Chain A
Amino acid sequence: MKFKVGIDIGGTFTDIIAISETGDTTVHKILSTPEDPSIGFINGLREVAEMRSTGFETFLSSVDTIVHGTTVATNALLTLKGAKTALITTKGFRDALEMRRGIREEQFNNHYRNVVPLVPRYLRFTVDERISAEGKVVKKFNTNELVPIIKKLKKEKVESVCICFMNSFKNAAHEKQAVTFLRKNLPGIFVTASFEVLPSIRFYERVSTTAVNAFIGPIVANYFDNLIKKLEIIRFKGTLLVMQSNGGVVTPEVVKKIPAVTVLSGPAAAPTAGAFYSSLLGYKNCITVDMGGTSFDAALVIDHQCVTSTDGSINRYRIALPSLDIITIGAGGGSIGWIDNGGLLRMGPQSAGAMPGPVCYERGGKMPTCTDADLILGYLNPHFFAGGKLKLNKTKAEKIIQTELADKLGLSTLETAAGMFRIINNNMAQGVREISVERGYDPREFLFIVAGGAGSIHSSEICKELEISVFVVPNVSSIFCAAGMLLGDLKHDFIRSYFSSFSKIDKKYFITIFNEMKKEGMETLLHEGVKEKDMELFPVLDMRYAGQYHEVPLQVEWSDVVNFNLSNVFEAFHKEHNRQFGYSLKEEETEMELINVRLRVIGKTEKPKFLSSKGKAISLEKAVKEKRKVYIPELNELKLIPVFDGDLPIGGSVIHGPAVIEKITTSVFISNKYDCLVDDFGSFIVYEKEKYPGGFQPKQKLVDVNEN
């Protein structure tokens, strides 16, 4: 039997999923080992082998692929524990990286600080070279200028160097000279140049992305060297792949060159898994949400594809590489309830996180949190949290909510907990609404897919607020990302800037740069063992109407690109512009401009099968664990309702709300307004009773609620 393994290492937990070719699945969750995450990686594999009652070596020899999601790069950026980095740039532009185009995000807060630059000013060096806007050499670069700089870099014990010159997207000759010279003269030091990382127009975006790459480079490279060594020791012979921010996977060799592609490695798998699940159920669009301890991530899937963007940043550091468009809201299980000076109850964005965590964890938390409220409201089972591994103290939760909040509000503890629940649900719903609207979509037309432990308690109420009629809690929701990793394809993104009005595009040059990117992409894929028949090409043109400031990425057909069939492109652009912005300038015959050309090259990977419980289901009555008092929002009171064991095979059953479904790793709350169909794979499909009076079937058209 052959296995594929997904390993998602997060800040708190390491999630592992192993799926055989027949769909036989083992799921495991262990604590992460932040001091060296590879320890948790290997231990996790070992424990999965034990769970399967197989010897470690035998199990490993049956694993052909491991896909890995890592937060090594993310953490380096969040904690600012990256390499000591230097920047070499064009004379006159020493400060662009730190200036961040002169923005202060909080306009009324004079204590709000700029970010600490990834390269301090004394390590930002300039050289007297210049390429013009047309790509001509204005001031020739002499590598001798680097000699005194190298001396200083050595003296300062710099660990990483990035190079970004003005207009290098037009002509990278000077950057190439610099990078060659530095690599030769700084052996063992990570050196990266902007033309290798992001050869596109916009200096600030490029210098920032290149600096991020340099800052995390040595750490990511060391991490993978160490991990690969450990895998060799335990004689793993299969392929190791790494999850990228763009939702695709890639080999560690590529990651070591451009580590910045892994900055959103972990969360990127959730939308990928969401796309897979919604397709499985027959829908092409969905919103995936992942509610963790401190944050709530949401992302859109349109037409089976995860939405990507180049507007990303982490910890306010700009990264313009294509990443899945994941939006984070400060709402999670650890979100703290507090009373503002006006006497109103608020939730978050401050969070107690996993440590010290909610008061009911008894790990030293002293502030009332969302999880404390969820416990009081009966959604969580104090004896069965994480399958009983963590006992929750309900009395302490009640006490803290009473003294910190309820007494001050003049409400009962239960009323206050219910208020906390309502407020945080409202915060999450409004956040989801804003991200959808901002991208030009109406959330009501989407399937809502819930990953992560806490989310499925809150999704009934979030969906009610958003008027979304169906939400799905996949069977592996708590290790959704790990599962998503096995569903990703190999993906490589290439970009070239070609600033031109469309009427002046040079046909030969246009086709040549696309073929160049194609060649580079296919070579990389071949190297990764992908056959040509499994390769797909997705060209994208970044376009705008002349005079506009923002470009719109437009996916086009490869055949239109190589045949230079631009009329199809124009039509598609007017249409897309109209969809996103509510108007097109087709009638006005406004000229269009090209800014960048992009190519995404995809190598299809073999997808695992999930095991169906069809024919093995037990009757629903046998799955009732207990009856428990649970808060029902529609009735505004506690009510005794059934609690089902969601780990039993109950595929095909319909559970009528109100009810709670408990799994080891998650709980699902189905409020009065909803019913739930358990599908053959053990996923929960929760739908509004009124909208689906005859019950719900996968592939059924979502009820059209668009009244406008």
Chain B
Amino acid sequence: MNIDKILVSIFQRAFKSMTDEMSISLTKTTRSPILCEAKDFVTGLYDAKGQMLEQTENLPILSFSLGPVCKEILRQYGNEIHEGDVIIHNDVFSMGNQNNDVAIFKPIFFENNLVGWSAAKGHQADIGGAVQGGYNPNATEVWQEAIRIPAVKLYEKGKFRKDVWNLIFANIRLQMVQEDIKAQIGACTLGERRLQTFVGKYGLEIFEAHKQALFDSTEKMMRAEIKAIPDGVYTGGSMVYYDGKHKGSKFPIKTKITVENENIIFDFSKSSPQTKGFVNGTYTSTCSAITLTFLQMVNPNIPHNEGMIKPLKYIVPEGTILHASYPAATTFGNHLCPQVADAIFKALGPAIPEKVTAGWNHLLCSLFTGSHPRTGKKYVDICFLGMKGGSGALKGDDGYDHIGMIDASGGVLDQDYEMYEQQTPHMILQHEYLCDSGGAGQWRGGLGTETKILLKSDNTTMVVFGDGDVEPNYGLFGGKGSVLNKIELKYRNGKKVIPKSKDIIHGIPDLTLYSQIAGGGGGYGNPKKRAKEKVLQDVKNGVVSKKAAEKLYGVK
């Protein structure tokens, strides 16, 4: 068949419009704040073989977690896929990425042929298990974290399977989750309808041929990016601290990246064995972390379809901390992304020094629950505003200030201060850039922040999860590291409490002062080479002290 090159361009934009529309629909129809506000979900379209046509990702860590499940469903169901089926899935031991991230898949038929799949995956407010919300630092097995949902049909040939539905939702705490899953089904129906219309407009043969041409063109773009990396074997590593159980425990992450002409292999085989706690990754989540890190180093205009991921090869053996064996606890797995990213940036630094960034600030996050004395109601608040530090600097540009972890790459908004003070009993005393928190360098690391909140109700509970409180973010090529993450409570009676990086603290009394430091990003290049005007500007703006200017940058 002759390929109409113009039509290939139009296909790309049209697919993007479809997944965007699915994403818009999901933002509007879901109810849990983590979906409609933090947009912790992804929508995508796949072809009959489960190859990605396009997707709309909101939080990068979820971005590449649908395709593997789609292929798993095809393998599992084979000829038992029918028009009108709706399949649900979260199981981390059959290609799920995180227990809370529940996917809906809908096969798309055109004239009785399977032509594709629409899919939506979102982080659910609850997924059963021992602790509401899913983050259970005490978990050692998956059942203490969540209900496992292998790929099962919620609808078969258009018929709703009430029994299956009831079984699943009998194991999930919040009614809202049912509504959010219905919203995901709605978004998939939208994608189904639009892809059907689209295939109908051009005919199946043209659709198939031009879709393939689009993959080929994108693959060519991606391979050109890989080809630009000098051939070689590159190694890098990072460290995960504390599994939530054993004080002082640490777990190395190691990568070996092989670049050969247009091919790249990311091998994480030498990483630590899995932990006994919940600090474990899943295969899909780790691959997603690898992909999103690599995408930060290539042309940002490459379309996100199968052609883009095809040249990337992943080796993440089962039994390692990045791919835990059944039935390990894994809820923390998405948050191993910063360490995966560090290892990759460090490995590729010598090969593509102009593309890598210095270390990004790692996540250290707190979550408050309690009751609001003014309204008498319960509230839950993830302290987004306090946890977001700076990104690492790169050649030519300073890091981004107060952007937060690389898993989100600036996709999660801070709470508004005034709305926060209405919805929680607490009072924010400070939320500002922290002076000297950006790692020094010819290009400075992004700034971290300093947050102080006066907790104004009795009996507050605080859950802490994260890292970055042991080893500072690294600088590159002579650039310096940044400051450590830190959370501290100071009770009214003078008692100080410094929580561990995975912890739960109950019964925090009224008028306790909560302080948090989110570190900055690492610097890039020798600070002495930084343009003098930039250093003086930073001093004038109070983000670099006079002392540091003199000592680190040699500028008086």
A342 touches B220 (CB 8 A): yes
Identify the stretch in B108-116, B144-152, B402-410, B469-477 within 8 Å (CB) of chain A at 4 or more residues: B402-410
Residue of B nearest to A591 (CB): B377
B13 touches A92 (CB 8 A): no
A583 touches B410 (CB 8 A): no
Residues of B contacting A105 in the complex (Cβ-Cβ under 8 angstroms): 410
B296 touches A108 (CB 8 A): yes
Residues of A contacting B218 in the complex (Cβ-Cβ under 8 angstroms): 342
**Residue among A113, A201, A345, A346 making CB contact with B418, cutoff 8 Å:** A201
A419 and B220 contact, Cβ closer than 8 Å, known pairs A202-B418, A582-B29: no
Complex alpha-carbon distance, A114 and B8, angstroms: 34
**Residue among A111, A423, A433, A547 making CB contact with B6, cutoff 8 Å:** A423
**Residue among A108, A204, A419 making CB contact with B292, cutoff 8 Å:** A108
A340 touches B396 (CB 8 A): no
* B232 interface contact, C-beta 8 A: no
A102 and B21 contact, Cβ closer than 8 Å, known pairs A95-B431, A202-B416: no
Q: Which of B179, B388, B428 gathers most chain A CB within 10 Å?
A: B428
* A120 interface contact, C-beta 8 A: yes
A contact patch SS = loop
Would you give the shortest CB distance from B361 to chain A, in whole angstroms?
12
A205 touches B9 (CB 8 A): no
A346 touches B9 (CB 8 A): yes
Residues of A contacting B12 in the complex (Cβ-Cβ under 8 angstroms): 344
Complex alpha-carbon distance, A110 and B60, angstroms: 14
* B497 interface contact, C-beta 8 A: no
A110 touches B394 (CB 8 A): yes
Residues of B contacting A94 in the complex (Cβ-Cβ under 8 angstroms): 432-433
* B186 interface contact, C-beta 8 A: yes
A107 touches B418 (CB 8 A): no
Would you give the shortest CB distance from B412 to chain A, in whole angstroms?
7
Would you give the shortest CB distance from B117 to chain A, in whole angstroms?
21
A434 touches B5 (CB 8 A): no
A96 and B404 contact, Cβ closer than 8 Å, known pairs A133-B418, A341-B299: no
Residues of B contacting A580 in the complex (Cβ-Cβ under 8 angstroms): 28
* A499 interface contact, C-beta 8 A: yes
Render A547-564 as a binary contact track against B, CB cut-off 8 A, 1 for contact: 111100000000000000
* B224 interface contact, C-beta 8 A: yes
Residues of A contacting B60 in the complex (Cβ-Cβ under 8 angstroms): 107-108
What number of B residues sit within 8 Å (CB to CB) of A? 84
Residue of B nearest to A419 (CB): B6
B421 touches A167 (CB 8 A): yes
B28 touches A582 (CB 8 A): yes
A549 touches B404 (CB 8 A): no
Interface residues of A in 320-368 (CB under 8 A from B): 340-346
B414 touches A102 (CB 8 A): yes
A340 and B409 contact, Cβ closer than 8 Å, known pairs A93-B432, A430-B13: no
B400 touches A121 (CB 8 A): no
Residues of B contacting A409 in the complex (Cβ-Cβ under 8 angstroms): 5
A110 and B391 contact, Cβ closer than 8 Å, known pairs A342-B218, A422-B10, A423-B10: yes
Residues of B contacting A419 in the complex (Cβ-Cβ under 8 angstroms): 5-6, 9
* B498 interface contact, C-beta 8 A: no
Residues of A contacting B541 in the complex (Cβ-Cβ under 8 angstroms): 120-122
Complex alpha-carbon distance, A111 and B419, angstroms: 32
B422 touches A344 (CB 8 A): no
Residue of B nearest to A117 (CB): B541
Residues of A contacting B375 in the complex (Cβ-Cβ under 8 angstroms): 501
Residues of B contacting A345 in the complex (Cβ-Cβ under 8 angstroms): 5-6, 9
**Residue among B217, B292, B429 making CB contact with A342, cutoff 8 Å:** B217
> Which 7 pairs show the lowest CB-CB distances between chains A and B?
A104-B410, A342-B217, A419-B6, A92-B430, A121-B541, A133-B421, A430-B17
Beyond the given A91-B430, A107-B60, A437-B25, please list 9 additional residue pairs across the A-B interface where CB-CB is below 8 A.
A103-B413, A110-B391, A166-B418, A204-B417, A342-B217, A411-B5, A415-B6, A422-B6, A434-B17
Residues of A whose CB lies within 8 Å of any CB of B are 91-96, 98-99, 101-114, 120-122, 132-134, 138, 166-167, 169, 201-205, 340-346, 409-411, 415, 418-419, 422-423, 426-427, 430, 433-434, 437-438, 440, 499, 501, 547-550, 580-583, 708
Q: 13 interchain pairs (CB within 8 A)?
A: A92-B429, A95-B433, A99-B402, A103-B410, A122-B541, A341-B220, A344-B12, A422-B6, A427-B13, A430-B17, A434-B24, A440-B28, A548-B36
